[in-house]
A and B are shown apart, each in its own frame.
Chain A
């Protein structure tokens, strides 16, 4: 038996994920993913008015408030078989797309780039050489010698204060860090620029959603944004034009910086296309509805089995029985009362039963979801592969751009199959973000055109029948498939389950003891130094873990940010 490594917690943001690995001969031979906090938020919802569910569910997570709000209203609307006015669909689409772009930029630059980029090495980068490299890759305005000099000065001053702040937990100087000082300086400069640009995405959410981090404009049946082009207090032409300006700035950054940086980093770390594939069954859902019923979507979704794009099975509409009937959750290895086998979310139960960390028994607060009895990977990689399989032209275009750039820098040909990997998930996230930034522009145009036609409707009043109805709302959230499942009796919530993206990816072993996506992706992952398991973090971070909603956000006792324990 090899060495046992325990990393707890593993996220740079809130949420508590514990990863245990057995390492033998410099490689991971066994892995366990464990959510360390109990969620159980569903229980709070029982008995509440179904119209209020979204305001409560958006408090589940501090990072993805809007996504829970959207999935929740869609679940209730699905239960009532409602149609949603076009303006409301477009406004929601703008909010969720702006949020997704925000999330992808923050995830790449601020939560995971530091697994690959050595900030301390950037201080040694030569600004002139950095500018030369940058200009060979992109026309971005923020790539001047002057800019890189300024970044070095700012960074030097910050590091000089001794308070590394956000950079505290980096593995600086680790042997697996391979970028030159110039590439590190380039990426660090873009890290800082990304801090500024992500605000533009957030402003779009704020203007349309009335407020962030918790939007206030949703309603079961539509949105609460009155549209009147001649009034100051509502959604005016002036506000819509401001949004258009932010969209253009985002598009410039995503296409000329983010997409390029991911390609460059991918080329320098092309050995990472060999690690981290894990589960290659990919699930995504269609999103950005273009009609009132939710049967036409701007972005397709579906299911791919065994990494074979030809196996793509489309998910076509809200409430599609293929999706609705395929999802189950097992608690065989989770700290909940079980014994009934895997349960469909409408029948889901969330009654805690804590044991201890049992390698072969229960070891996580995360349930284990399956799609037709198999674990599935969700997230940008699942989204991009399903969109490519569905022949979605913009996705194919941006994916080819990335593969070509990586190929020319690494002087080799990179096939689509290289995406089944740790670094592939970062590439897919950038591709997804580029597709979404174009779609943001598209949804804005659709909204403007629809208003110009004289349609100002934004809301259909929900009517709750006597007796019991049930519905599922899904949303292709930044981290992947999010679904909320609701059973409503006489207008009140009788059962509620949220199956979140990180639940799919951080799932423990399931009913048939098959490991979940994180666990599978870690197998054969190299580990140069068990005391500094940077490579394990790379693979787990590539999924963009957000345990805040997979489990709960609470760790009042522990004073440590990251504990690495080697046994």
Chain B
């Protein structure tokens, strides 16, 4: 079993970096089972083929435009995910959807794909999350953790 938690986003654009900040916090706060791999994907694309290929489960954390109030958290899984990519809610949609489409072409697509999305409040230049989105960070981490729990993975808190 191989599970990939992929945080995407540009940490130079405040809330755009929420996916990466989530992965960083997970790595800081928990000891992960060997089956779980955390990836800070930044805004890259083809470089991730190797890491995403043949994953049993892929959990993507990203800033998304869902039309909901800032800092709203949305979860999409299964059939909802292709729709999410076709309607281009995320600024990285082109890169990431290309990677996923390429994996399909190569027959290496993940068994399941789940997206945890957070509506950004600001995409202004800056390395900090806005307070509203920063307050949601523990909840986003908690959501990823419960996704992993449902897949039978138990995380141990670091103290």
Mark A residues whose CB is within 8 Å of B.
12-14, 40-41, 43-44, 56, 59-63, 65, 102, 106, 110, 154, 158, 163, 165-166, 192, 195-196, 198-199, 202-203, 206, 212-214, 548, 552-556, 558-559, 561
The answer to whether A213 touches B47, judged by C-beta atoms less than 8 angstroms apart, is yes
A and B contact pairs by CB, cutoff 8 A, 9 listed: A41-B12, A63-B44, A154-B105, A195-B105, A213-B47, A553-B10, A556-B91, A556-B123, A561-B94
Contact of B127 among A44, A154, A553 (CB under 8 A): A44
The answer to whether B49 touches A166, judged by C-beta atoms less than 8 angstroms apart, is no
Contact of B82 among A163, A196, A199 (CB under 8 A): A163
Set of chain B residues within 8 Å of A206, measured between Cβ atoms: 50
Set of chain B residues within 8 Å of A553, measured between Cβ atoms: 10, 43, 91
The answer to whether A59 touches B91, judged by C-beta atoms less than 8 angstroms apart, is no
The answer to whether B101 touches A13, judged by C-beta atoms less than 8 angstroms apart, is no
The answer to whether A13 touches B45, judged by C-beta atoms less than 8 angstroms apart, is yes
Set of chain B residues within 8 Å of A199, measured between Cβ atoms: 49-50
State A110–B16 Cα separation when bound (angstroms).
27
Q: Does B80 sit at the interface, judged by CB under 8 A? A: no
The answer to whether A110 touches B65, judged by C-beta atoms less than 8 angstroms apart, is no
Q: Does B95 sit at the interface, judged by CB under 8 A? A: yes
The answer to whether B47 touches A202, judged by C-beta atoms less than 8 angstroms apart, is yes
The answer to whether A213 touches B88, judged by C-beta atoms less than 8 angstroms apart, is no
Q: Does B87 sit at the interface, judged by CB under 8 A? A: yes
Contact of B40 among A60, A196, A214, A556 (CB under 8 A): A214
Set of chain B residues within 8 Å of A554, measured between Cβ atoms: 10, 13, 16, 91, 123
Given contacts A41-B125, A60-B12, contact A165 B101 (CB under 8 A): yes
Mark B residues whose CB is within 8 Å of A.
10-13, 16, 40-50, 65, 82, 87-88, 91-92, 94-95, 97-98, 100-102, 104-107, 123, 125-127
Given contacts A59-B11, A213-B47, A554-B13, contact A195 B102 (CB under 8 A): yes
Set of chain A residues within 8 Å of B105, measured between Cβ atoms: 154, 158, 165-166, 192, 195
A63-B44, A555-B91 provided; 8 other pairs, C-beta below 8 A? A13-B45, A41-B12, A44-B12, A59-B10, A199-B50, A553-B10, A554-B13, A561-B88
State A223–B124 Cα separation when bound (angstroms).
33
Given contacts A158-B105, A163-B82, A203-B50, contact A43 B44 (CB under 8 A): no
State A558–B82 Cα separation when bound (angstroms).
18
The answer to whether B45 touches A63, judged by C-beta atoms less than 8 angstroms apart, is yes
**Nearest chain A residue, comparing its CB with the CB of B126:** A44
The answer to whether B49 touches A62, judged by C-beta atoms less than 8 angstroms apart, is no
The answer to whether A213 touches B41, judged by C-beta atoms less than 8 angstroms apart, is yes
The answer to whether A13 touches B95, judged by C-beta atoms less than 8 angstroms apart, is yes
**How distant is A290 from chain B, measured CB to nearest CB, in Å?**
28
The answer to whether B125 touches A166, judged by C-beta atoms less than 8 angstroms apart, is no
Interface of B is mostly: mixed
**How distant is B120 from chain A, measured CB to nearest CB, in Å?**
8
The answer to whether B40 touches A61, judged by C-beta atoms less than 8 angstroms apart, is no
State A40–B13 Cα separation when bound (angstroms).
11
State A60–B12 Cα separation when bound (angstroms).
8
Set of chain B residues within 8 Å of A196, measured between Cβ atoms: 106
The answer to whether B94 touches A192, judged by C-beta atoms less than 8 angstroms apart, is no
Set of chain B residues within 8 Å of A60, measured between Cβ atoms: 12
Set of chain A residues within 8 Å of B107, measured between Cβ atoms: 154
Contact of A559 among B46, B88, B100, B123 (CB under 8 A): B88
**Nearest chain B residue, comparing its CB with the CB of A201:** B47
**How distant is A342 from chain B, measured CB to nearest CB, in Å?**
25
State A163–B45 Cα separation when bound (angstroms).
19
The answer to whether A59 touches B45, judged by C-beta atoms less than 8 angstroms apart, is no
**How distant is B121 from chain A, measured CB to nearest CB, in Å?**
12
The answer to whether A14 touches B94, judged by C-beta atoms less than 8 angstroms apart, is yes
The answer to whether A56 touches B106, judged by C-beta atoms less than 8 angstroms apart, is no
Given contacts A13-B95, A214-B40, A554-B123, contact A165 B104 (CB under 8 A): yes
**How distant is A207 from chain B, measured CB to nearest CB, in Å?**
12
State A212–B40 Cα separation when bound (angstroms).
9
**How distant is B103 from chain A, measured CB to nearest CB, in Å?**
10
Residue of B45, B95, B100, B105 with most chain A CB atoms under a 10 A cut-off: B105
Set of chain A residues within 8 Å of B92, measured between Cβ atoms: 14, 62
Given contacts A44-B125, A554-B13, contact A62 B95 (CB under 8 A): yes
Set of chain A residues within 8 Å of B97, measured between Cβ atoms: 165
State A539–B46 Cα separation when bound (angstroms).
23
The answer to whether A166 touches B98, judged by C-beta atoms less than 8 angstroms apart, is yes
**Nearest chain A residue, comparing its CB with the CB of B50:** A199
**Nearest chain B residue, comparing its CB with the CB of A559:** B88
**How distant is B52 from chain A, measured CB to nearest CB, in Å?**
11
Set of chain B residues within 8 Å of A203, measured between Cβ atoms: 50
The answer to whether A556 touches B95, judged by C-beta atoms less than 8 angstroms apart, is no
State A213–B47 Cα separation when bound (angstroms).
6
